[in-house]
Amino acid sequence: MKNGFFRGHGLGNDYVVMDPKELSFTLTPGKIRGICDRHWGLGSDGILALAPSKKADFGLRIYNPDGSEAEKSGNGLRIFARYLHATGKTKKRAFTVETKGGLVSIALHVDRHGDAAAATVEMGQATFRAAALPCTLTMDELIQAPIEAAGRSLRFTGVSVGNPHCVVFKEAGESWTREDLLTLGPALEHHPLFPKRTNVQLAVPTGPKEIFILIWERGAGETQASGSSSCAAASAAVKLGLVKGPVTVKMPGGTLNIKVAGDFSLTMKGPVAEVARGALSPSFVRGLR
Ligand SMILES: N[C@@H](CCC[C@H](N)C(=O)O)C(=O)O
C-alpha cells in the first residue's frame, strides 16, 4: 500500500512501522517529526523502518520522534516482530533482526487468534563501560558515578545495551515522583557528560526480584514503558546487588520480565499489541517538511 503504516504498542510505548520501499518520500528528520507529532501527525513514540540486512533475516532502523536515530529499542523490536508476522513478511516464528545496536533473535508467542501477542527477544549483552555509552567521565565502569543535574547531587549507573542509559536508584521504600522525572529526565538526557545524550531511568527496588522505573527517553521524553530501559535498569540492579534475576520490571504502562545472565546477556519477554493499519493521506504527505 502506498505510504502505508502499521501501528502497534508495547505496554503503551507506541510506534509506527513503515517499509521505506512503500513510501513516496524519504524518512528525513523533518518528516519523522511531522509523522510522530501528537497533534498534527499520526502521533508516536517513534518510527520503525524495515531495512535490508546481509547478516540477519531483517534489518531495522529506529527513529525517535525528534528525528534522531536510536541504535536499539526493546518495545520497538517486539512491535516490529508483530508487524513482520501480521503482514506476512515472514512465516517464521523465530528470526533474527539487525539493528545499529547489534543483532537480536526474536521468538514469537502466537495466541489462539493467530496473533503474535508476545515476544521473547535476546537483547544482547549489557556493558557498564564509559566508552560504550559514551560518557566522558574518566572511570572504566560507570557504577554509582557522581553527577550533578537540575541542582541535585546524584549517583548513576551507566549501561549500554546497544543504546545508552543512565539509571538512578533510590533506596527500597523510597519513591520517585513524576515531577522528579520531568526535571531530572531532560537535565540528564542533555548532560554534557553524555555527548550522544542518554535515556534516563529513575529506579527503585520493590522486591527481591522486582524494580519499578520511571522512564525519560532520549529524543522522545516521558514514555509509559521501554524495553531497552528495562534491560538497562535490571542489569544495573543486578550489578549493584539490589535484586537477583530474573527481574520483574514494573513501569507505568505495565511489566516486562528480564533475564540477566552471569555475563549480563539479556532476555526480554513481554506483550505486544497491534492498533491499526492504514495509509498517510496524500495531502498530509504533501504538507510534510
Ligand atoms: N522505547 C524504546 C527505546 C527507543 C530508543 C531510545 N529513545 C533511544 O534513543 O535510545 C525501548 O523500548 O527500548
Q: If you compute the radius of gyration of the chain from its CA atoms, what whole number of angstroms results?
A: 18
Q: What is the DSSP letter of 129?
A: B
Residue identified by cell 539487525 is: 98
Q: Which pLDDT does position 140 carry in this prediction?
A: 92
Give the phi and the psi of residue 86 in degrees, each rounded to 5. -70, -30
pLDDT at 235: 98
Query: Which residues lie across from 271 on neighbouring strands?
Result: 118
Tens digit of pLDDT for each residue in 172-223?
999 999 999 999 999 999 999 999 999 999 999 999 999 999 999 999 999 9
Q: Does the pTM exceed 0.95?
A: yes
Best residue among 159, 200, 201, 228 to mutate for probing ligand 1's pocket (most ligand atoms within 8 Å of CB) is 228
Question: 234 near 267, Cβ under 8 Å?
Answer: no
Q: Are 223 and 233 in contact (CB under 8 A)?
A: no
Q: Is 1 exposed, middle or buried (0-12, 13-18, 19+ CB in 10 A)?
A: exposed
* Residue 218 marked as a ligand binder: yes
DSSP 247-270: EEEEETTEEEEEEE-TT-EEEEEE
The reply to whether 3 sits in an annotated binding site is no
257 is in an annotated binding site: no
- How far, in Å, from the CA of 220 to the mean position of ligand 1? 8
Q: Give, to the nearest 10 degrees, the angle between helix 227-239 and helix 74-86.
A: 140
pLDDT at 151 (0 to 100): 98
Query: Does residue 55 sit in helix, strand or coil?
Result: coil
pLDDT of residue 82: 98
Instruction: Measure the CA–CA gap between 189 and 196, rounded to whole angstroms.
Output: 9
Ligand 1 atom, smallest distance to 15 CA: 1
pLDDT < 70 regions, the chain:
none
Residue 106: per-residue pLDDT: 99
Ligand 1 pocket, 142 CB below 6 A? Answer: no
Residue bearing cell 513503515: 18
Instruction: Quote the pLDDT of residue 90.
Output: 98
Ligand 1 centroid to Cα of residue 198, in Å, is 10
One-letter identity of residue 173: G
Closest residue by Cα to residue 106 from 127, 70, 82: 82
At residue 36's C-alpha, the angle toward residues 34 and 41, to 5°, is 60
